[in-house]
Amino acid sequence: MDPTSNNGSALPREDHLSLELLGAIAENQSATQRDLSSRLGIALGLTNALLKRLARKGYIKVSRVSPRRARYLLTPTGIVEKSRLTYSYIQHSIGYYRDVRSRVQGLFDRLARDGVKRVVFVGTGEVAEIGLICLHGMPLELVAVVDDAQIGGVFLGHSVRAIGALSETEHDAVVVTAVRRDEALFSRLEEAGVLRERIFELDGNGPGAGFRAAGGEGRVQDG
Q: What is the pLDDT along the chain (223 residues), one digit of tens a residue?
A: 444 444 444 568 889 899 999 999 999 988 899 999 999 999 999 999 999 999 999 999 998 888 778 889 999 999 999 999 999 988 888 888 999 999 999 999 999 999 999 999 999 988 999 999 999 999 999 999 999 999 999 998 999 999 999 999 999 999 999 877 778 888 899 999 998 889 998 754 444 434 333 333 333 333 3
Prediction pTM value: 0.66
Q: Residue 1 has what pLDDT?
A: 43
Sheet holding 141-146, edge to edge: 154-155, 158-161, 141-146, 118-122, 173-176, 199-200
Distance of CA 175 to the CA centre of its chain: 15
In sequence order, which ranges of 114-200 are alpha helices (DSSP H)?
126-135, 183-191
Spatial distance between the Cα atoms of 81 and 74, rounded to a whole number of angstroms:
10
Asked whether the beta carbons of 210 and 183 are under 8 A apart, the reply is no
How far CA 120 is from CA of 29, 51, 112, 147, 165, in Å, comes to 46, 43, 14, 11, 11
In this structure, which topology does domain 5-95 adopt according to CATH? Answer: Arc Repressor Mutant, subunit A (1.10.10)
Identity of the amino acid at 148 = D
Map residue 221 onto helix, strand or coil.
coil
Closest CA to 77 of 40, 28, 31, 22: 22
Spatial distance between the Cα atoms of 105 and 127, rounded to a whole number of angstroms:
12
Asked whether the beta carbons of 121 and 131 are under 8 A apart, the reply is yes
Asked whether the beta carbons of 174 and 200 are under 8 A apart, the reply is yes
CATH number of the domain at 114-200, please? 3.40.50.720
Asked whether the beta carbons of 98 and 149 are under 8 A apart, the reply is no
Map residue 62 onto helix, strand or coil.
strand
Domain map (residue ranges) of the chain: 5-95, 114-200
Identity of the amino acid at 92 = H
